[in-house]
Chains A and B, each alone.
Chain A
Amino acid sequence: MMNRREFLKAATLASAAPLWVRFSATAAEAATEVPIPDRLLLVVYLGGGNDGLNTVVPYQDSAYTKARPTVGLRAADVNSLGGGLGLHKALARVYSLWTSPTHQLAIVQNVGYPNPNYSHFESTYIWETGSATGRYHTGWLGRYLDATDATSPGPVRAIAVGMDALPRTLIGQDGNGVALTSLSDFSFADRPSNGYTDTALRHRAFDALGAGAPDDGSLRSQVLQAEDGTVRAIAAISGATAKTKTNLTDAQTVAAMFAAKVGTEIGFIEVGGFDTHTDEKAFQAQGLQAVDKAIGEFFDAAKTYGIADRVTVMTFTDFGRRVGENANVGTDHGSSGPLLVMGPNVNGGIYGNRPDLSPSALQDGNLVPAINMASVYSSIISQAFHTDPVPILGDYPTIPLIR
């Protein structure tokens, strides 16, 4: 499979009307259904820095209760994972994956990167690029998409729903991802059904704006490439919309795109509200409930679309939070935290050691990360996507998270 630019070049050569490339190429490509990929990954970003210690809770650890006299959760606030650990009760649906006979929840403890950064933006950038050293500036999944561009067909390989801009996680060199707020908004206003009589002529002229433009990396060529990507995405998504009902949530939209046979294999959604400097118990419960609801909706929709056996869900966040609580019944920015991986192909269980919360084991009041995020990412890339993670992330040990 050629990448888009090659496709367009080929289409130009084959076409009798070389000036107007974009729409004709799109129409031809969108008309071709692509088999649903074997493995489908939904990434759920918990915006603001979710408090890992109040998500996978060491509620019987005296160092925990001591550090968190008011913010700390107690036995009644969690569902037991055994060994003195409990999962925040707001994650009820997620917990049902833990108790299911097939054991579909993996928890990787104390995940982070060396020399933690406590800035939302710097730290999220590190998590999204998968590089704490500035080695990479594209997203870790963007690089996966780049690496497999030649062999994976489909006009919309990754989709971020509920946002206008592509998250860095999905940004690569080749522009494989699409961000959108909802499927139903995703169409040209000047279509015939809105009373326009010159739609085809307009769109051919829109196409021609990019005629003869050099692919020289200039901002102008990047704008044209973005417009090209938009046109392709609209064609693909209008095909997908025809097959689904409207009013889908973000998570259901991802499932719909996975099932739409346009080559989508990665979805990205965000649930915000985790920067719990104040009143953490209420805010975090609210946020985790929203995460739980989204994950439940996604698995339910996947079942409806007949793709339940292919899906995996993973979470990440900006950083964990400070071990000791602050004066505002909240917690400040911290370092590492647990990462959840869920789905029918997941080897359920708890990976990594429980973080040591005794004051002497902390650094500036923060956990010392034990497992590099890049190890988790490498595991996903190699075990779910059967792709060599080393060129994408560097050489990190993998964890047997996925069958």
Chain B
Amino acid sequence: VTHKSDISATSGEEKSFPGRKIIGRELEPGGRLPGDRSLIAHLFRRAAFGATPAVLKYYAARSYGAAVEDLVRGKSIAGAPPSFDQTLDPVNDLVFNVGTRNPFSVPSLDQIQTTWVERMVTTTVPLVERMTLFLHNHWATAYRPGDSVDTPELQTQNNVFRDNALGNWSTLCHSMIEDVALSCWLNNNVNVKAHPNENLAREFMELFTLGPGNYTETDVREAARALTGYRFAYNLQGTDPVNEAMGPRYVMIFDPTQHDDGDISIFGSQAAPMMPHQFVDLALSQAAAPMFLARKLAQTFVTPDPSPDFVGRIAASLTANKWELAPALRTIFSSFEFRSEAARSAVVRSPTEYMIGILRALNRTSSDDYSVALYWMNHAGQELYNPPNVGGWPKNMGWLGAGGVLARYNAGVTFADRHVRSTTLPGQTRLRSTTPQGWGEIFGITNLAQATVDAMNGYLNDPTASTDQNVTDAAMITLVLASPDYMLA
């Protein structure tokens, strides 16, 4: 069931909205929207796994525009609690490097998952991690160690996503056709001129750059020819096995003798020999390319059903800025559409966003917390590095089958218990609130629905409610996390 946003239906109002003229430009600090707390909370729910009260307070004293700028420029989020700076040792230093060459020290899937969860929880540049997650879902590649899509290759791919998260889409697309994990996942490691393999060519156009309807079956066959010639090989450059930072253990090498150097015509181009990177440039030169990415960004960050006008403005930013992502994200977060009431609570948090939001809010940064979060993410339907297929994970209501809802509820129960049972150091007090609204703020929600507040008060005011604060606090956390307010971003 497609959720019908009313953004597209309110174009009449759009014109009269006073903030409309600032679309596409930086919102000025101290300008029209100084520190709207509910708007800042909305921004952080979408772009940053949620705001803590400290973050909200910091930007409320400055401006919404300042928060957008810090996020899209990848600047450290000011006002973050101390544990959010990365002073903690990484869970596993090894896998922060671009894959190990030592076949005996290949990390487990669990290790690279834990590493990423830690990064998402402790990052001070949350939009980088949020975009890395977006890119993982977009170029969805799954753990298949038997087909050389093993943990070093997935970690390498993840690092490429992170490096380009606020970078350049064209650069990323060019990197991806030589990415070992993606190439092996989509059989481009066995795509030779005698017998082209269509798998990468098709998905590159359908799922990665253009979308269905913007290419023909002939284009698929021709693009497969253009992508011939890559081969999977050991990385022979830099042979020091101790220095793992020197490079990945495998690379895709281009073998001209296996490349189809005959004439190729795609999208009606003049028939001529075409190299793989020329195909990437040709695909990105199609009018559909900026619209395709713009629409997916809008659906992810704003609303499932963005208006063509809005998508067009984001696409125009991508085109004008030669595929730079940061200006497009600035356009999105500055837009009337994003700031409008219609965009509030308009997307369902993915299981990863759901869990990471809990850990960031409750300051849970132990490796044990990460394991528990991973357990519930898997049960809620999202195992990192193992998307169900190359199309990525479900979205919105697709997450909320009975199994998904139950896993979220039980995750809330579990982390509520971990919170109220955790020991505090002398002089520290445990994060808590005496009101439902205060509990909402702890989880980055400034305006809990009245029904949610009433339900929580119904619990607190019940004559049978426990006098043990830990019992009632755990129930309050469980209820906030089970509410539609938190299920939605």
Contact = CB atoms under 8 A, between A and B. Distances in A.
Interface of A: 19, 47, 118-122, 137, 160, 163-166, 171, 173, 178-181, 185-190, 197-198, 201-202, 204-213, 217-220, 222-224, 226-227, 229-230, 233-234, 277-278, 326-328, 332-333, 364
Contacts of A202: 459, 475, 478-479
Contacts of B401: 160, 163-166, 178-180, 226
A197 B195 contact: no
Contact of A209 (B199, B406, B484): B484
Contacts of B31: none
Contacts of A122: 206, 212
Contacts of A137: 2
Interface pairs A-B: 5 shortest CB-CB: A327-B195, A164-B381, A208-B455, A179-B401, A226-B400
Contacts of A197: 466, 471
B391 A217 contact: no
Given A208-B455, A333-B202, A201 B403 contact: no
B391 A121 contact: yes
A233 B454 CA distance: 25
24 contacts: A118-B202, A119-B212, A121-B207, A121-B212, A163-B403, A164-B380, A165-B401, A165-B403, A180-B402, A181-B379, A185-B406, A186-B406, A187-B406, A205-B456, A205-B458, A205-B459, A206-B479, A209-B451, A209-B452, A211-B454, A212-B451, A227-B484, A230-B406, A327-B190
A230 B471 contact: no
A166 B198 CA distance: 30
B350 to A, nearest CB: 12
B346 interface: yes
Interface residues of B, number: 67
A217 B346 CA distance: 12
Contacts of A226: 397, 400-402, 405
Contacts of B197: 277-278, 326-328, 332
Interface string B384-418: 00000111001011111111111101100110000
Nearest to B304: A219
Interface string B4-40: 1000000000000000000000000000000000000
Contact of A206 (B196, B379, B391, B482): B482
A186 B409 CA distance: 11
B136 to A, nearest CB: 18
A97 to B, nearest CB: 30
B478 to A, nearest CB: 6
A223 B484 contact: yes
Contact of A277 (B199, B217, B396, B483): B199
Residue in A19, A137, A171, A198 whose Cβ sees the most chain B Cβ within 10 Å: A198
A201 to B, nearest CB: 6
B464 interface: yes
A23 B439 CA distance: 24
Given A180-B403, A229-B402, A201 B475 contact: yes
A47 B400 CA distance: 22
B456 A211 contact: no
